[in-house]
Amino acid sequence: MSTHVSATEAARRFSDLLNRVRYQGERFVIVRNGEQVAELSAIASRPKVTLAELVDRLLAARSGDPGFADDLERIQAEQPPVGDGPWTS
């Protein structure tokens, strides 16, 4: 169920309305000139991830391309040497 509040009242009490939405799960319909124009309600919460699930995800992400390090070394070896720049000390 939702509570109807005027746009003026919502503007004056915005912080209070946000707290009521967040902590008490209330829902507000904002009315201007007798017309419903907006709704103030909580967003769906994100699913919680446990520490064990996070560790599992991080370990799974580590198993990448086995030749990646070799590719980086090859790319670095192919780079031309950098000469002295104009700001040498």
**Is residue 13 included in any domain, yes or no?**
yes
**Is residue 84 included in any domain, yes or no?**
no
Query: Residue 51 pLDDT > 70, yes or no?
Result: yes
Q: Is 70 left (phi over 0), alpha (psi -120 to 50) or beta?
A: alpha
- pLDDT band of residue 88 (cuts 50, 70, 90) is low
Q: What percent of the chain has pLDDT over 90?
A: 57
Query: Residue 20 pLDDT > 90, yes or no?
Result: yes
How many Cα atoms are found within 13 Å in the side-chain-facing hemisphere of 16? 6
* Section 31-59 average pLDDT: 90
pTM of the prediction? 0.51
Q: Which domain holds residue 27?
A: 3-40
pLDDT of residue 1: 81
The CATH number of whichever domain residue 12 belongs to comes to 3.40.1620
Looking at the structure of the chain, the number of domains it has is 1
What is the SS3 assignment for 4? strand
Nearest Cα residue to 7 out of 55, 39, 43: 39
Q: Output the average pLDDT for the chain.
A: 89
What is each CA distance from 31 to 3, 16, 21, 41, in whole angstroms? 10, 17, 17, 14
